[in-house]
């Protein structure tokens, strides 16, 4: 199964991966300016929550890292910095997965919302071993140093997320990679401690017992269902993204629950004037109010379907001043009251 990003130019992804590369190279005395050279990004932008980057920019930074790296450990060290908390709502979805199979399904279906440089494209379990074929998105040539760097980074990320989800003893049982065996294997041995097969027909990450039967440490079916719905909304936006509407939706999701801002603070967070934000949204055929209403609608439906929260509790969680305003809004969205909707879905 081959999946490519919608396009390389759209700036719709968070800068977390690039920030991890920059921070790791700073430890080697390499300035952020050198690592970011040619990408159009600044160190200040990497710290701004509303910053969105493109695959094009990520590829430039990763290729700079390949050129600047003083040794073979940079990709591993940068990837292992990527804790679950760097992933926002996607991270909540992983953490709340009720079972390991749910976790794998969620990861494969929605990892693209984070703009991975490489990631799993399928999942199969046989004989107590889970096999996850990987696809590298920044390069298609296994002989390209960028290909190797991106895959090593992604494998280290998977290890870090596994430890955050299951505990510090989590480990992999094998790695298969398409590129040739490097001269120095010490970084592989130190970080992964598992067999690595080079020159293979495909890139794979393998997980063995007991982890294939382990749920994450904080399973919660309600939260998992809610986050899955939100990730589906973001995923649906990606083919036409590149516009500000997708950025606004993602930023609203990062604010939930309770703290949905009005357009003025949202514009400030995006570093543009409110009038400019309104104009750009109009160009894309939408409004800030419409995007906010859609986010609230999706969440409200998910709460009514999967929780026992009262109308008042849902209204508060969605940032309404009182329950009656929420009820009126819900009737506009669905043609039914919250109580009637819940009863029909029972």
pLDDT at 196: 97
Q: What is the pLDDT of residues 219-229, one digit of tens each?
A: 998 889 888 98
Which of 209, 201, 120, 199 lies closest to 173, judged by CA?
A: 209
pLDDT of 144 strictly over 60: yes
pLDDT of residue 102: 92
Could you give the CA distance from residue 11 to residue 51 in angstroms, rounded to a whole number? 9
Q: What is the pLDDT of residues 4-48, one digit of tens each?
A: 444 577 778 889 999 999 999 999 999 999 999 999 999 999 998
Do the domains 243-345 and 16-213 match in fold? Answer: no
Cβ–Cβ < 8 Å for 79, 154: yes
The CATH number given to 16-213 is 3.90.1520
User: What is the model's pLDDT at position 1?
Assistant: 45
Mean pLDDT over the full length of the chain: 88
Long-range contacts of 21-27 (CB under 8 A, 24+ apart): 21/61, 21/62, 21/65, 21/74, 21/78, 21/153, 22/46, 22/61, 23/78, 23/81, 24/74, 24/77, 24/78, 24/81, 25/65, 25/68, 25/69, 25/74, 27/77
**Of the options 3.40.50.12160, 1.10.10.60, 3.30.70.260, 3.40.605.10, the CATH number for the domain spanning 243-345:** 1.10.10.60
* pLDDT (0 to 100) of residue 65: 96
What pairs with residue 131 in β-bridges? 124, 206
Q: Which residue's entry shows tokens 């040739």?
A: 180
Render pLDDT for 279-323 as a digit per residue (tens, 0 to 9).
888 877 789 998 888 888 878 887 887 778 899 989 988 888 889
pLDDT of residue 136: 92
What pLDDT does 12 receive? 80
What gap in Å lies between CA 41 and CA 16, rounded to an integer? Answer: 13
**Is the pLDDT assigned to residue 272 strictly greater than 60?**
yes
Sequence spans of domains, the chain: 16-213, 243-345
Render 212-259 in DSSP notation, one character per residue: GGPPPSS--HHHHHHHHHHHHHHHHHGGG-SSHHHHHHHHHHHHTTT-
> Is residue 128's pLDDT more than 80?
yes
Separation between Cα atoms, residue 224 and residue 97, nearest integer Å: 6
d(CA 17, CA 21): 6
Tokens 């109010």 sit on residue: 289
Give residue 301's pLDDT: 82
Q: What confidence category does residue 175 fall into, taking pLDDT thresholds of 50, 70 and 90?
A: very high
Cα of 159 vs its chain's centroid, Å:
16
Count of helix runs (H) and strand runs (E) in the chain: 17, 6
Mean pLDDT of 150-173: 96
Closest CA to 198 of 212, 184, 214: 184
Closest CA to 328 of 295, 283, 306, 296: 296
> pLDDT digits over 178-216, tens only?
999 999 899 999 999 999 999 999 999 999 988 988 888
Residue scoring higher pLDDT (306 or 273): 273
Taking the C-alpha atoms of residue 223 and residue 228, their distance in angstroms, rounded to an integer, is 8
Q: Which residue has the tokens 């690592």?
A: 35
What's the pLDDT at 5?
A: 44
Length of the chain: 346
Using alpha carbons, select from 228, 227, 331, 241 the residue that is nearest to residue 286. Answer: 241
Is the pTM higher than 0.85? The answer reads no
């Amino acid at each position: 199964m081959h999946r490519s990003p919608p396009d390389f130019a759209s700036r719709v992804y968070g800068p977390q991966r690039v920030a991890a590369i920059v921070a790791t190279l700073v430890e080697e005395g390499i300035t952020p300016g050198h690592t970011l050279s040619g990408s159009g990004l600044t160190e200040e932008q990497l710290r701004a929550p509303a910053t969105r980057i493109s695959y094009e920019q990520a590829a430039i930074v990763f290729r700079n890292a390949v050129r600047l790296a003083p040794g073979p450990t940079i990709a591993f060290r940068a990837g292992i910095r990527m804790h679950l908390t760097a992933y926002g709502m996607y991270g909540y979805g992983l953490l709340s997965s009720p079972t390991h199979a749910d976790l794998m399904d969620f990861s494969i279906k929605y990892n693209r919302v984070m703009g991975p440089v490489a990631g799993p494209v399928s999942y199969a379990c046989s004989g107590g071993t889970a096999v996850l074929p990987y696809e590298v998105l920044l390069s298609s040539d296994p002989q390209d140093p960028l290909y190797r760097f991106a895959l090593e980074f992604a494998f280290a990320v998977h290890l870090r997320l596994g430890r955050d989800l299951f505990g510090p003893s989590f480990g992999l049982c094998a790695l298969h990679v398409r590129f040739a065996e490097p001269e120095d294997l010490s970084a592989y041995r130190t970080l992964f401690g598992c067999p690595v097969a080079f020159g293979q027909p495909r890139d794979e990450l393998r997980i063995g017992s007991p982890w294939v039967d382990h749920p994450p440490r904080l399973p919660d079916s309600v939260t998992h269902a809610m986050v899955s719905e939100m990730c589906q909304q973001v995923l649906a936006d990606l083919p036409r993204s590149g516009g500000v509407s997708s950025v606004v939706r993602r930023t609203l999701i990062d604010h939930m629950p309770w703290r949905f801002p009005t357009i003025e603070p949202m514009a400030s967070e995006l570093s543009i004037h409110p009038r400019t934000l309104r104009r750009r949204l109009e160009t894309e055929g939408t409004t800030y109010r419409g995007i906010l209403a859609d986010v609230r609608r999706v969440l409200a439906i998910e709460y009514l379907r999967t929780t026992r929260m009262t109308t008042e509790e849902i209204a508060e969680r969605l940032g309404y001043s009182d329950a009656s305003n929420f009820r009126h809004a819900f009737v506009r969205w669905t043609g039914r009251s919250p109580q009637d909707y819940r009863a029909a879905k029972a």
